[in-house]
Amino acid sequence: MSLWVGRPIVYAFADSKFGHACLIDRAKVDKAEAYFDKHGAVSTFVGRLIPAIRQLISIPAGLSKMNIGVFALFTALGAMVWNAILAGLGYWLSLHVSPEDLFEKVEQYNSYLTYIGYGILVICIMYILYNAFKKKNYNTKQ
């Protein structure tokens, strides 16, 4: 999908005011696309291991016209490694914490974690709005 529809949408977003508010511009998209062209399959594998990038790695893969078989293979390998890491952490946690204690701890701190999450969300929204509405100074001396 990204191969045919993605390029115009990604570049339109990069050129938009909202894209700039999110600190994305055409130069950054070009740079990301060039990096993906150079490191394609490895970028897909590593991208599947990084939170937030994991959901977006398909976009540059489509933009760079990556072979679907290679993409599927490296996506599967990256997802397998990520899931193995999570399963290993879960197993380790099960050896050191009883389920009852874990549930009690999560419930004890859940409201604090919720407020922290809301706070981070508000800060992110304020940052995006600040970047969207700040005036650009084009008369800078160099």
pLDDT tens, 16-57? 887 777 777 888 888 877 878 788 788 889 888 888 778 778
- pLDDT less than 50: residues of the chain: 138, 142
pLDDT, position 16: 84
pTM summary value: 0.61
Q: Which residue has the tokens 């419930």?
A: 107
Could you tell me the CA-to-CA distances from 23 to 17, 36, 95, 129 in Å, in that order?
10, 19, 43, 11
* Distances, alpha carbon 101 to alpha carbons 4, 97, 108, 120, in Å: 51, 7, 10, 27
Ramachandran angles phi, psi of 49, nearest 5°: -95, -5
pLDDT at position 4 is 65
> What are the residue ranges spanned by the domains of the chain?
2-96, 97-136
pLDDT (0 to 100) of residue 2: 59
Structure tokens at 10: 């990604």
Give me the pLDDT at residue 142, please. Answer: 47
